[in-house]
Amino acid sequence: MDHTRPISVLGTTALLLLAASPFAWGDAANKPPRAEAGLPRYAAKAPVRLDGSGSYDPDHSGPLTYAWTQASGPPLVITGADTATPAVSGFVQTAEIQECVFELVVSDGELRSAPDTVSTIIVPLYGPDALGLERPPFDANKPTVILFRGGDCVNGNLGRPWDVPDWIGRANIIDFPSGYTPDSYTVPLTYYKYADMLIAYLSSVAPEYRQPIQIIGVSTGGMPAIDVALRLNTIYRDPRYNANRVTYCDARCRDKTTQLALVDRLVANSVEGEPCWVDSYDSTGPWPNALSVYCPLVPHAKAGNWYRESLVSADMGKFNDGVVAGAYWSVVGPGKNLQLAPAPGRQIYSFQWSGSSTSGRMEFYHESSYPGRLPQPITLTGPAEGAAVGAGGAVLSCRNSQNAVGYQLLFGRDPFHLTYLAWEGATPPNDVVTVFPFPKTWWTIKARDLYGSTIHADPVCLTAENVVPQTIENSGTSQTYAAIQEAINAAHEGDQIVLAPGVWQYLGNLDFKGKGLTLRSADPNDARVVGATVLCGDGRGPVVTLSSGPDRPPTLEGLTIAGGTVGISCRDAAPTIRRCTVGSDGPVAIEFWPAHEPRLIDCTLFGHVTKRDVDTSNIHATYEWR
Band of residue 22 on the pLDDT scale cut at 50, 70, 90: very low
> Which pLDDT does position 19 carry in this prediction?
36
3-class secondary structure, 31: coil
> Which pLDDT does position 29 carry in this prediction?
58
Residues 490, 516 contacting (CB under 8 angstroms):
no
Positive/negative CA dihedral, 292, 361, 147, 171: negative
Question: How many whole angstroms separate alpha carbon 406 and alpha carbon 497?
Answer: 33
Band of residue 1 on the pLDDT scale cut at 50, 70, 90: very low
For 202-211, 509-518, 520-529, which range has the lowest pLDDT when averaged over its residues? Answer: 509-518
569-611, pLDDT tens digit by residue? 998 888 999 999 999 999 999 999 888 899 999 999 999 999 8
Percent of the chain at pLDDT above 90? Answer: 72
Question: How many whole angstroms separate alpha carbon 276 and alpha carbon 507?
Answer: 17
345-366, pLDDT tens digit by residue? 999 999 999 988 788 999 999 9
Average pLDDT of the residues in 221-244 = 98
Band of residue 208 on the pLDDT scale cut at 50, 70, 90: very high
Question: How many whole angstroms separate alpha carbon 378 and alpha carbon 356?
Answer: 30
Q: Is the pLDDT of residue 114 over 80?
A: yes
92-113, pLDDT tens digit by residue? 999 999 999 999 999 999 999 9
Average pLDDT of the residues in 155-164 = 84
Question: How many whole angstroms separate alpha carbon 394 and alpha carbon 7?
Answer: 10
Q: At what angle do helices 222-230 and 193-205 cross, to 10 degrees?
A: 60
Q: What residues have CB less than 8 Å from 322, skipping those under 6 apart? A: 373, 374, 375, 376, 402, 403
* Environment class of 70 (CB within 10 Å of its CB; exposed 0-12, middle 13-18, buried 19+): middle
φ/ψ of 337, rounded to 5, equals -95, 20
Q: Is 32 left (phi over 0), alpha (psi -120 to 50) or beta?
A: beta
* Most confidently modeled range among 122-131, 290-299, 349-358: 122-131
Average pLDDT of the residues in 1-27 = 36
> Which pLDDT does position 316 carry in this prediction?
84
3-class secondary structure, 530: helix
> Which pLDDT does position 255 carry in this prediction?
92
Question: How many whole angstroms separate alpha carbon 160 and alpha carbon 176?
Answer: 9
307-354, pLDDT tens digit by residue? 999 998 888 889 999 999 999 999 999 999 999 999 999 999 999 999
Band of residue 164 on the pLDDT scale cut at 50, 70, 90: confident
Q: Is the pLDDT of residue 370 over 70?
A: yes
Residues 39, 207 contacting (CB under 8 angstroms):
yes
Band of residue 30 on the pLDDT scale cut at 50, 70, 90: low
Average pLDDT of the residues in 222-250 = 98
**pTM (two decimals):** 0.88
Peptide bond into 383 cis (omega under 30): no
Return the beta strands (E) in 184-274 as ranges. Answer: 213-218, 245-249
Q: Cα separations (Å) of 434 from 333, 391, 471, 622? A: 34, 6, 18, 45
> Which pLDDT does position 317 carry in this prediction?
85
H/E element, 229: helix 222-230
> Which pLDDT does position 112 carry in this prediction?
95
Positive/negative CA dihedral, 586, 587, 592, 593: negative
Lateral strand order in the sheet of 576-578? 479-481, 472-474, 496-499, 518-521, 555-557, 576-578, 599-601
For residue 378, give the nearest of 418, 337, 340 by alpha carbon: 337
Question: How many whole angstroms separate alpha carbon 289 and alpha carbon 545?
Answer: 27
Higher pLDDT, residue 532 or 16: 532
Mean pLDDT estimate for the chain: 90
- 217 beta partners: 148, 248
Band of residue 479 on the pLDDT scale cut at 50, 70, 90: confident
Burial letters 152-161, b for 16+ CB under 10 A, else e: eeeebbebee
* Environment class of 583 (CB within 10 Å of its CB; exposed 0-12, middle 13-18, buried 19+): buried
Band of residue 615 on the pLDDT scale cut at 50, 70, 90: low
Q: Is the pLDDT of residue 266 over 50?
A: yes
Band of residue 626 on the pLDDT scale cut at 50, 70, 90: very low
Question: How many whole angstroms separate alpha carbon 52 and alpha carbon 69?
Answer: 12
Percent of the chain at pLDDT above 70? Answer: 92
> Which pLDDT does position 550 carry in this prediction?
60
Band of residue 272 on the pLDDT scale cut at 50, 70, 90: confident
How many CB atoms lie under 10 A from the CB of residue 42? 24
Higher pLDDT, residue 538 or 176: 176
The DSSP output letter for 301 is G
> Which pLDDT does position 614 carry in this prediction?
62
